[in-house]
Amino acid sequence: MNRRVLAVGLLVVVPLIGILVLNIGRDPHAFNSPMIGRPAPTFTLRALGGGEPVSLAALRGRPVVINFWATWCVPCYEEHAVLVAAAREAGDSVQFLGVIYEDDADRVADFLSRQGSAYPSLMDDDGKTAMAYGIYGVPETFFVDAQGRIAAKYTGPLHREALAENLVLAGGGKS
Amino acid sequence: MLLTVSAPAAAQAPAPAGQTGFEAADAAAQEDPREVVGAPKGAALAGPALEARTEEVAALLRCPVCQGLSIADSPASMATKMKARVRELLAAGYDEEQILAYFERSYGEFVRLEPPRRGINWLVWLAPPMALLGGLVLVSRVFMRPKGVSVAPPGPPAPSADSLPSRDALPDDPALARNVLRIREQAYGWPGGVPPAETP
């Protein structure tokens, strides 16, 4: 009888402990985006500082890097320089886009005038683009291939190597 | 397609109808939810019914920038925008499941506060009632056990009150009785060795 109780108890408790141990320290937000491999949600957004609105659909035919960021996000400062440098280097072969997440246009304009810019920053005032891409926080960067599919997503500040690796997945840059 | 020139302010305020309307709409265009979840399956809502339904559906969606809050409960700006999107989709006639699926496409299953009843998620829904049922069966088996079948092995019988001498009993021998009284006086502080009246 006691052995049976023990066996049943272990049968219940051991798998539970196993699940807990396996998931310790795992951030529930940090799973692969369900969007990888799927068509990138289209959008047409107003670019900061005027100019024509930018439409993702019109950019089909070359890889697009979509970086969601904000000036209140400290890691975004670090990655900004990396993105600007990469955009200058890539020239026309890759289109870089910044989508502003929960920030106001004046602050972004001020930031860009001080830190430099090399690609359009798009205003997503009603947050619909961030919603369509399932943004949990900034920075998050999507790599869209020439066919308009999301090839990769990077959460957190990009550094040179990560940017290059993910760009290759989207069919851009040098492998 | 795109206009080559656009006023930067066009998207901030709704443009007056007829003039720059196309430009303003174009400047903030999004993909059609139809492409994600198909044509609306429900009735288009408006007025108080729309507001009530918005709260209900928003309560089923996790606020992505909060800890364990629904977008109905969160004051965060992004949550407010998501709620506005829910309202918009309900007004367009999308039903609850379509709206949840729309957000799930982007955020993953995590965005649903209630795990959808499918696949391994059934474990979450079925395990607690099963465990409760199992517990009830276990408890009822213990309580319904037929009388006479004892759980504990029979040990020495507990002494009954009758078998113990009462505290004022005295031996028959008068000399021995006097000694008992004296000992009781010393040991318990009873004057003359006589126990005080029982106090409840």
The two tokens of residue A18 are 């196993």
DSSP at A136? -
- Residue A110 CA to residue B63 CA, distance in Å, equals 30
ipTM: 0.84
Angle at which helices A74-90 and A105-115 cross, to 10°? 60
Per-domain residue ranges for chain A?
37-169
The model's pLDDT over B41-53, given as tens digits with 9 standing for 90+, comes to 989 998 999 999 9
Contacts of B110 (CB under 8 A, 6+ apart): A28, A29, A31, B62
CB pair distance less than 8 Å for B108 and A31: yes
Residue in B closest to A136 by C-alpha: B64
Instruction: Report residue A14's pLDDT band, with 50, 70 and 90 as the boundaries.
Output: very high
Longest pairwise C-alpha distance within chain B: 128
Q: What is the mean pLDDT of residues A31-40?
A: 84
Strands A54-55 and A44-47: antiparallel
pLDDT digits (tens, 9 = 90+) for A62-118: 999 999 999 999 999 989 999 999 999 998 999 999 999 999 999 999 999 999 999
Which chain A residue has its CA at the smallest distance from B66's CA?
Answer: A136
In order, the DSSP letters of A70-131 are -TT-HHHHHHHHHHHHHHHHHGGGSEEEEEE-S--HHHHHHHHHHH--SS-EEE-TT-HHHH
Q: At what angle do helices B77-91 and B96-107 cross, to 10 degrees?
A: 140
Chain B, residues 88-127, CB within 8 A of chain A, namely 103-111
Both tokens of B60, joined, read 């089923």
Integer Cα distance of B19 and B92 in angstroms? 25
pTM: 0.71
- Is any Cβ of chain A less than 8 angstroms from the Cβ of B159? no
Residue A27: pLDDT band with limits 50, 70, 90: low
Distance from CA of B30 to the nearest CA of A (A): 5
pLDDT band at B124 (very low <50, low <70, confident <90, very high): confident
Tell me the per-residue pLDDT of B7-42, one tens digit each, with 9 for 90 and over.
444 334 443 433 333 344 445 678 888 888 999 998
Question: At residue B81, does pLDDT exceed 90?
Answer: yes
Neighbouring-strand partners of residue A54: A45
CATH topology of domain A37-169: Glutaredoxin (3.40.30)
pLDDT tops 90 at residue B167:
no
